[in-house]
């Protein structure tokens, strides 16, 4: 769907996609605006669909740790669960009014790290963009990127703490008024908002599958970080070791095993050889072989070879 950036906040932008939600008001039903949240990390390069100017910058870079949890987006629905509000386009030059009541940033944990930075910028008498430092109060004129210093040229600014970035990335080139083509990554009915992305890889996929894929990617990232690289797993493939059964699956055909090794391996998913009928329970000691990585679960892949005597 196509939308328009209506506000820049820390870590991303709010996008109006013309989506509304029916709310009861007495005996009638009103339409409440539902804004989408597009994080800079989800705004990828897509030259064929994006109308974002090449040399304008939105806001800040990502958090230092580069890892944002999406636990607040637990209820995954599809876009069909919402009603599309087809409103007539406002005449050019009219100021767009935004109902921000749906976004209580001060009390909402989803946007606990977000901040409104519009007060940090102003337009000077000569038309230049001026940024004010929050801590020192000092003002800085942000230079134009035009070849001839044209005042009407696009302005580039960034508050990134990483000074080694020579050019602003696409996710930092979003600004109020930009029209972008986005895809709904997930929907939170409880908070009445959308989580957006510009990645077309979501097209044709079910929301629940997208969520599952995202969770697997996170697990793989944590596994890689914990082990100092997935290459260590490949080096240990085929190695046999003792382990302890931590939990059994409901179906009984796989279980969680904690390997006992000097490698500091985490709990992995272990399969039981078909037809062997090994009766196992939590706390049993077993011999397992490291098979690699279970890409469907984002965890270590193990195989139970035998049960040790209690």
* CA gap 162, 63 in Å, rounded: 11
Handedness of CA 36, 40, 44, 46 (dihedral sign): positive
Pairing type for strands 12-25 and 28-39 reads antiparallel
Tens of pLDDT, residues 126-143: 666 666 665 566 666 654
Tens of pLDDT, residues 25-49: 666 667 777 888 888 877 765 444 4
Confidence of residue 58 (pLDDT cuts 50, 70, 90): very low
- Mean pLDDT, residues 5-24: 82
Paired tokens of 17: 């996609």
Give the other-Cβ count within 10 Å of 144's Cβ: 19
* CA gap 17, 7 in Å, rounded: 13
Q: Quickly tell me which residue has 């001026």 as its tokens.
A: 130
DSSP codes, 69-105: --TT------GGGSEE--PPPPPTTPPPP--GGG--T
Give the other-Cβ count within 10 Å of 222's Cβ: 14
- Mean pLDDT, residues 256-260: 91
Tens of pLDDT, residues 143-193: 443 444 444 444 344 444 444 444 444 445 778 888 888 878 777 766 667
* CA gap 206, 49 in Å, rounded: 22
Give the pLDDT confidence score for residue 71 in this predicted structure: 42
Handedness of CA 104, 110, 111, 112 (dihedral sign): positive
Where do the domains of the chain lie, and which CATH numbers do they carry? Answer: 2-117+159-205 (no CATH), 236-307 (2.40.50.140)
- Mean pLDDT, residues 17-29: 72
* CA gap 200, 206 in Å, rounded: 13
CB 259 within 8 A of CB 277: no
Which residues have C-beta within 8 Å of that of residue 27, sequence separation ≥ 6? none
Of 225, 262, 223, 224, the C-alpha closest to 241 is 262
* CA gap 134, 136 in Å, rounded: 6
71-75, 198-202, 211-215: least confidently modelled range: 71-75
Give the pLDDT confidence score for residue 96 in this predicted structure: 45
Please tell me whether the overall predicted TM-score, pTM, comes out greater than 0.75 for this model.
Answer: no
Q: Give the 3-state secondary structure percentages of the chain, helix then strand then coil, rounded to 5.
A: 15, 35, 50
């Amino acid at each position: 769907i196509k939308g328009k950036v209506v506000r820049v906040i820390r870590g991303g932008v709010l996008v109006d996609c013309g989506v509304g939600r029916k709310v009861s008001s007495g005996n009638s039903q009103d339409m409440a605006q539902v804004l989408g949240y597009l994080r800079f990390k989800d705004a990828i390069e897509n030259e064929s669909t994006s109308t974002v100017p090449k040399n304008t910058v939105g806001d800040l870079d990502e958090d230092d740790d580069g890892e944002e949890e999406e636990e607040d987006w637990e209820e995954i629905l599809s876009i069909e669960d919402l009603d599309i509000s087809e409103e007539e386009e406002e005449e050019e030059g009219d100021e767009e009014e935004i109902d921000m009541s749906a976004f209580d940033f001060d009390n909402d944990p989803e946007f606990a790290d977000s901040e409104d930075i519009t007060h940090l910028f102003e337009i000077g008498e000569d038309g230049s963009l001026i940024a004010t430092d929050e801590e020192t109060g000092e003002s800085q004129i942000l230079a134009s990127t035009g070849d001839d210093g044209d005042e009407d040229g696009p302005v580039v600014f960034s508050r990134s703490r990483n000074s080694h970035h020579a050019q602003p990335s696409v996710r930092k080139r979003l600004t109020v008024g930009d029209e972008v083509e986005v895809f709904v990554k997930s929907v939170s009915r409880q908070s009445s908002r959308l989580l957006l992305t510009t990645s077309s890889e979501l097209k044709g996929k079910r929301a629940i599958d997208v969520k599952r894929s995202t969770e697997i990617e996170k697990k793989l990232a944590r596994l890689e970080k914990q082990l100092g690289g997935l290459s260590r797993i490949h080096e240990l493939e085929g190695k046999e070791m003792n382990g302890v059964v931590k939990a059994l699956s409901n179906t009984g055909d796989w279980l969680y095993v904690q390997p006992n090794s000097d490698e500091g391996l985490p709990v992995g998913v272990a399969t039981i050889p078909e037809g062997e009928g090994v009766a196992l329970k939590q706390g049993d000691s077993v011999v397992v072989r490291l098979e690699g990585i279970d890409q469907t679960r984002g965890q270590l892949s193990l195989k139970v070879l035998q049960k040790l005597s209690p």
